Amino acid sequence: MDNSVLLGIYVFLLAIFLGIELIGRVPATLHTPLMSGTNAIHGIVLLGGLIVLGTVDGLGTLDKLLLVIAIAFGTINIVGGFLVTDRMLEMFKGRKAEQVEAAAEEDDAK
């Protein structure tokens, strides 16, 4: 087996282990900012796929099909991520509005 293949397998396994360790230690309060950062990264990946699909000549049919599938999955991931982020932010806004209403009622009672 070639050394570059072994190095690639080593890096891949190390990335899996590191990813599991990092994700397992993220508190729930950091989910929304991390989701936004991930959406930005996927936006760059999506843009790169669109550029490659539009500018590179000599791509075979299978290459183009894989690029279109990657672009579709990237788009779904970005839209889904923003929907989840928006929903989580709305949940925090709901609590704030309830607190303001409760404080206003308390002031009226005095």
* pLDDT tens digits for range 61-110: 888 888 889 889 888 888 887 887 777 777 777 666 667 777 777 777 66
Lowest-confidence segment of 7-11, 46-50, 56-60 by average pLDDT: 56-60
Q: What is the pLDDT of residue 96?
A: 63
Q: Are 60 and 31 in contact (CB under 8 A)?
A: no
User: Comparing C-alpha atoms, which of 109, 37, 102, 42 is closest to residue 75?
Assistant: 42
Q: Are 39 and 78 in contact (CB under 8 A)?
A: yes
Q: Are 85 and 32 in contact (CB under 8 A)?
A: yes
Q: What is the pLDDT of residue 10?
A: 94
Q: How many CB atoms lie within 10 A of CB 42?
A: 19
For residue 39, pLDDT over 90 is answered with no
Task: Supply 45's token pair.
Answer: 């990946």
Q: Are 83 and 26 in contact (CB under 8 A)?
A: no
